[in-house]
Amino acid sequence: MLDETITQNVSERYARAAATGEQMCCPAGYNFEDLMSFVPEEVLRISYGCGTPVGLESIRAGETVLDIGSGGGIDCFEASRRVGPSGRVIGIDMTDTMLTIARRNAPVVAANLGYHESNVEFRKGMAHAMPVEDHSVDLIVSNCVINLAPDKRKVFREMYRVLKPGGRFSISDIVSDRPVPNYLIHDTEKWGDCLSGALQVGEYAHGLVAAGFLGIRQVHYIPWRVIDDIHFLSVTLAGYKLPRPTASNGVRFATLRGPFSWVTDELGQSYRRGVPEPVTPRTAQLLKTPSLESLFLLSENPLPLEPSDPRWLAILPAQAPCVWKGDYAIFTGPCAEVADDDTHVFQRGKPLEICSKTLAVLSADAYSPHFAMINRATQSGTGASVSCDPGGSCC
């Protein structure tokens, strides 16, 4: 299917929904009780997405926020409230019907917020060719829109272009656990349902890294639908456009604390828990991001850790039999590859079958933010427990 055909079909689908009030399938909703205090009902009625962008919570007064696929404007209006009258919000959408509704309600929202004039501007444009100036945005949000773009790598490059050095993104989107087959890719109705264009988690993250982003992490995930054994999930991802490093800022070594036994970061450097590794200013900058700062100790001099050190973090599996129940773990954290203490190696975005013992480990607070879990069993299992000792038949 041609990219132009996909774009036209998606635009028409959303225009029809805006005009008729059709309810689009979305795995998560908004806190309408809060939004009703300043957002008109006309906007709330046509607000689609897969979760309120978590990045809005990090907005600072006076920042510039860009919403890709702004629709009726709901996320832009929430951003407007958070940036305050000194901030600026830009919404981009390709559908005239949506733009008309958003523009009509912008002055209403401004008045409800007590602003002298609206600080929100809605522009017509495509996600892969955004009408936005270079290096002009502090935060990009997008709510279940990028999966509708035929060429997502172009979208990621555009995001990197418009962000200021030091800027960040927080995007909610639909991803899959395995490749979407051609019969779904060429189903025009499924494109509008945010299914046909879904990338695998790992491919999505790889595209963001290829565009220049680093420190990409999962903020939230929700299992959504299973179609022909393909699991679709709503995920919220955050990441950073790091500025050019100017100095080491006193950091020359990094020591992995855990809970992973070893990791390979997005720049290709590997670390073993407790062993100091020399790092460049660029790597030190990456390891200071909110995505990674809790995993590492950064120091001017080598700082080895021993298991007896309270900063050492390890979560060991129970020494007991386990059961296979169809569970799979998808690593979605800010590294290319990681390992636990039970011989499992997780590559970002690649599902790995795990037993009940490993599921318990990865459900611990230190691990759970870095994983999405799915279950591929089609019926209740009756598998017997298997031995987990070194000579057993488990991991």
Annotated domain spans of the chain? 3-240, 253-299, 327-375
Q: What is the pLDDT of residues 194-246, one digit of tens each?
A: 677 888 999 999 999 999 999 999 998 999 889 889 999 999 999 999 998 87
By C-alpha distance, which of 159, 153, 231, 219 is closest to 195?
A: 231
Summarize the confidence of residues 68-80 as an average pLDDT.
93
Q: What is the pLDDT of residues 363-376, one digit of tens each?
A: 999 999 999 999 99
- DSSP strands (E only) in the chain: 64-68, 88-93, 120-124, 137-143, 163-176, 199-200, 214-227, 230-240, 253-256, 262-264, 270-272, 276-278, 296-299, 327-331, 337-339, 345-347, 352-353, 371-375
pLDDT at 15 over 80: no
- The predicted pLDDT at position 56 comes to 79
Q: How far apart are CA 69 and CA 54, in angstroms?
A: 16
By C-alpha distance, which of 57, 79, 48 is closest to 192?
A: 48
Summarize the confidence of residues 303-321 as an average pLDDT.
94
- The predicted pLDDT at position 12 comes to 47
Q: How far apart are CA 242 and CA 259, in angstroms?
A: 25
Overall fold of domain 3-240: Rossmann fold (3.40.50)
Q: What is the pLDDT of residues 148-201, one digit of tens each?
A: 888 999 999 999 999 999 999 999 999 999 998 888 877 766 655 667 788 899
Summarize the confidence of residues 240-263 as an average pLDDT.
91
Using a cut of 0.85, tell me whether the model's pTM lies above it.
yes
Q: How far apart are CA 356 and CA 142, in angstroms?
A: 35
